[in-house]
A and B are shown apart, each in its own frame.
Chain A
């Protein structure tokens, strides 16, 4: 029997939990299952749904536009991840030494992190404007003909990478800087006493001890890289002629341009699965590579 005290207790739990549980159920968990359900149907958002089983999935695996979108996303990641990591690491190592004005310099590097992707993309779309942009004017002044940047098929993704690295380097820097500062001074001191050069100390002591922070930024960057959309959509619209369309835009286009909600849902779940697999594989690698203090 639930007595009056039990009812009161349940009411308190409900009062505290329902404001978040109901929206999460309605707007996150239910749509998740909704996506799985839609992915098993042929549906253009209007006419009645038609059950097609796994057709959408098999169709996507052989679809050229989807394969291209995956390749664009991977190409973006392949350029973005090493660049943002190396730049962030270099900044973190530099800022790990004390000098006057250090915190001002640090907050300047971090400023793009809080700026929206749309503004970042528009700013770089203007800087990298093929005809009138500042970068091509500067290149011209030193006698180098500037490329077509976001307007050309070959440079569209690298242009988005430039903007993305500019925005995210400060984030990577702050995480790695915190990691560097948590390394006990004695370890570095010991290496120095043993006659290690600065270079050796970095690669043999600092870098291995930094792996937990490195792991964190690589996972975060990889996950956000797979979901790349805003900056490419604003800079190139996925163009020219689809040459830079990433996976997420393919999901968007399938739904709202080609009326293929089933295919879009299937693709979104494949993207989700891809992210999960990468995270799990990294967990495995983590155990092998990461050194904890």
Chain B
């Protein structure tokens, strides 16, 4: 296949690939009854009907803020707990270190589906069902983050730490002043993935959240599609709102995200 033909085929494919996003947006700005008649790329009656309905049927502001706060808080928690543990495994000596590390790795194998029932019971025992705390519980620490960040701490030259030691710095100071700034790229990568996975999470919120006030975006949107009369322009409007922050992150950090996924496969 000639290079030009190949490029053309791939470009057409790419347009087809992003077409569902275009269609989501078009539907979201199509007014009322038009949605269900003949589909048009440029709606005959454009309007913000869908967005208005979204705020009528759901406490949509609150749901959006819920998702945002949850994603920010769980990303921050994961970055803190993962980086401190990464430092401990890479730089501190303590009895049983290898055993503890293997135990951390073992938790990577356990799928969320196994944890759902007992975790729900735990959360219920603490009387936390249908609260923000219940949403955050499974995202406080992750062995994946520890593993990822430990690699990047381990490859830092030890001479830097030793020089600081000589100057009288302790581990806390070295961690804050030397290690954290040097592993910033890895923190950004992990932070991006943590944010996206929290923003997109579905199964656990579905299990612990009952009332609309504590719903996250995926939960709220899914609840709309289960209703008897489905309002497609409202659902697509909600999807647009849910995609925008991820799209913004992707636009800024696209190269970074794609690169780190690519590296995952090269081992």
Contact = CB atoms under 8 A, between A and B. Distances in A.
B114 A268 contact: yes
Interface string A90-122: 010011011111101111111111111111011
Point out which of B80, B115, B138 has the most chain A C-beta atoms below 10 A from its C-beta: B115
Nearest to A98: B3
Contacts of A65: none
Q: Interface size class for chain B?
A: 35 or more
Contacts of A178: 262-263, 265-266
Given A116-B199, A216-B265, A17 B88 contact: yes
B258 A256 contact: no
A95 B202 contact: no
A248 interface: yes
Q: Interface size class for chain A?
A: 35 or more
Interface in A225-266: 227, 229-230, 233-234, 237, 248, 251-252, 255-256, 261, 264-265
Nearest to A119: B239
Contacts, number: 272
Interface stretch (B51-59, B155-163, B181-189, B219-227): B219-227
B88 A16 contact: yes
Contacts of B247: 111
Interface stretch (A26-34, A56-64, A77-85): A26-34
A174 interface: yes
A47 to B, nearest CB: 14
Given A123-B24, A272-B110, A13 B265 contact: no
B13 A252 contact: no
Contacts of B10: 91, 94-95, 99, 105
B84 A20 contact: yes
B252 interface: no
A105 B10 CA distance: 7
A205 interface: no
Nearest to A170: B17
A265 B118 contact: yes
A121 to B, nearest CB: 8
Nearest to B264: A175
Interface of A: 9-10, 12-13, 15-17, 19-24, 26-32, 34-35, 38, 45, 91, 94-95, 97-102, 104-119, 121-127, 129, 131-132, 134, 137, 166, 170-171, 174-179, 182, 212-213, 216-217, 223, 227, 229-230, 233-234, 237, 248, 251-252, 255-256, 261, 264-265, 268-269, 271-272, 275-276
Interface of B: 3-4, 6-7, 9-11, 13-15, 17-18, 20-21, 23-24, 27, 35-39, 80-82, 84-85, 87-88, 92, 94, 100, 103-104, 107, 109-122, 137-138, 140-141, 143, 146, 170-172, 175, 196, 199-200, 202-203, 206-207, 217-219, 221-222, 225-226, 232, 235-236, 239, 242-243, 246-247, 249-250, 254, 257-258, 261-267
